[in-house]
Structure formats: structure tokens, C-alpha cells
Amino acid sequence: MNWICTISGALALAMVASTTPAQATAISDCPAPPEAVEVALPSGLPPALRDAMGNIALPGEPFDETDVYVKGHPHRRYIFVWNIGTRWIVATEQGGKVLRAAIFTYEQGKDDKTATLIESRITFPSSVCAAATKLVEKRNRSRETKYQH
């Protein structure tokens, strides 16, 4: 019985290890919608946004992908960052019992010294592009409504 559990565990780890790089490649190929600009990481991030987000690994760098956190290691990794004026859409991979994608929407202050979290969503890594694009569309709809009145 112990032998079966050991083999099953090894196979599960091998499956996770073999699918993670392909998944990361597919995620990073997410094109920014026409209204948004894809930001170079980390050089394109304003200091206020970097401070608000905390310690996040860059694409391709290691991070704590599981629910075992190591002190000093990043617990998230950037997938992409889009900018629309003062709005920032930040997509990350986030470790845990299940690897997931977290998308954060920040509004940069007029003084460029603050970045305020205004929305966050958790999704599957395979649907992060669609979810982030919906946030851009939501922002554009609210802006159109604002200017119509």
C-alpha cells in the first residue's frame, strides 16, 4: 500500500512539473487590448505601484507555487501588467493548494506617489487573459457613461 501511495505522489508531482512551463508560456502570450499598453517589467512599473504590490517574482523567476511558503521568497509572480492612463491591471500567478491567477486593478494617485487597489479577481491561469481584458472593457464602459452625463 505504501508503494502505491509513493508512486502516485511521484506521478502527480511529475505531471505538475511537466505542465507548469507550458502553462506559463501560454499565459505570457496574452496580448494587451487596443486601449491598454503592455508594461515592461520591472522597469515600466511606477514606484508607488511596486510598493503597493510588494515582493513579486518577475516572469520566469521562481516563486512559492504551492501552499508551502518560504520566508523571504516571493509568493506571487508577474504574468503581465497593462496600463491605461492612471489605471494599472496587474496579473500574477499565485501559489497555494492550487496554482491560480490573481488580477489586481490599481488607480495611481494624481501625485504619482500612491497606488490604490480598487478591484481584485482570482481566476484560473488559463483564463487570465480574458478576465483582464474584461477589466479593461469595464473601465472603458464606466468612462463612457461618465462622459455621457
pTM score, whole prediction? 0.73
- Helix residue spans in the chain (DSSP H): 2-28, 47-53, 128-148
Please report the pLDDT score of residue 124 as a whole number: 81
Domain spans of the chain, in order of start: 2-148
Dist. CA 100–CA 90, nearest whole Å:
14
Which of 131, 136, 143 is closest to 36 using CA atoms? 136
Please report the pLDDT score of residue 2 as a whole number: 52
Confidence bin at 99 (pLDDT 50/70/90):
confident
Which of 25, 38, 31 is closest to 89 using CA atoms? 38
**For the ranges 38-47, 67-76, 120-129, the one whose mean pLDDT is highest:** 38-47
Q: Provide the mean pLDDT of the chain.
A: 79
Q: Is the pLDDT of residue 61 over 50?
A: yes
